[in-house]
Each structure stands twice: as structure tokens, then as C-alpha cells.
Amino acid sequence: MSNPPRAASALDPAIAARLKRDRDGLFPAVAQSHDTGEVLMVGWMDDEALHRTLTTGRCTYYSRSRQDYWVKGDTSGHIQRVRSVALDCDGDTVLVKVDQVGAACHTGDRTCFDAGDLPVTVPHTAAQ
């Protein structure tokens, strides 16, 4: 995948300096329900998507397949209103706590992580 052409971002330089991006200038963004703690979805952001998220109060992601920005809910009505944004300790992932209106998943489900748990075969005592 080559670096998609994107406009320069107005992201605060102090925030931009803390970010670690992949070779395409992207980093994962985990959307979590602010009140229940439920992980809703994972999307991708670049500096401009993060800037838009921080300044509009609506989650903006970067679509790797369309190579364009998208605001969650603009077409579906299933919007994410931003409550808080945090950068992880390594600077390579953001956690966006949101008020989720409707489904978060493109399948129409509340969360993208409801396809069933995978079997864990490590005995509980071994993990201690």
C-alpha cells in the first residue's frame, strides 16, 4: 500500500509529535462506549482525522480501501459523539470514548466484537 495523498493537517503540533504512525501515516483508533466500557469498533486515523475528531466532536476515520475520510454516521445515522480521546503509552493507538447512537458495526450490530469468543486453551492457573 502506498501513502495516500492527504492534505496537511491542522492537528496541534504537540499532539502530532507524540504520535507513532505506520508507514502510511495511520494509527488505530479504538471506539469504546463511554458509559459501559464496551469496545465498539476499531478504525484508522491519520493526523487530519484525529484533528477533525477533536474539533468537531464526531468520530472521523480514514478509510484505507476508499482512501478518504469518513465521519461515523454520516450515511447510516449511527453517529459517535466524542466524550474523550486518549493516546496510549506508546503513542501508536488512540482510545475514543463515545456516545454511540445506533449500531457501531457496518453489519448493523451494536459492536464489531460480538461474533463469539474464541476458545482460550490456557489453564486459568497457568496465566497467574
Contacts of 51 (CB under 8 A, 6+ apart): 9, 10, 11, 12
Residue 59 assigned ligand-binding role: no
Q: Residue 82 pairs with which residues in a beta bridge?
A: 98
Q: Known binder of ligand: residue 74?
A: no
Q: Is 112 labelled as part of a ligand binding site?
A: yes
| Distance of alpha carbon 2 from alpha carbon 24, whole angstroms | 7
Is 88 marked within a binding site?
yes
| Alpha helices in the chain, H assignment, sequence order | 13-16, 47-56
Q: Is 117 annotated as a binding residue?
A: no
Q: Is 92 annotated as a binding residue?
A: yes
Question: Which residues fall in the annotated binding site for Mg(2+)?
Answer: 88, 90, 92
Question: Which residues fall in the annotated binding site for Zn(2+)?
Answer: 89, 105, 112
Question: Which residues fall in the annotated binding site?
Answer: 88-90, 92, 105, 112
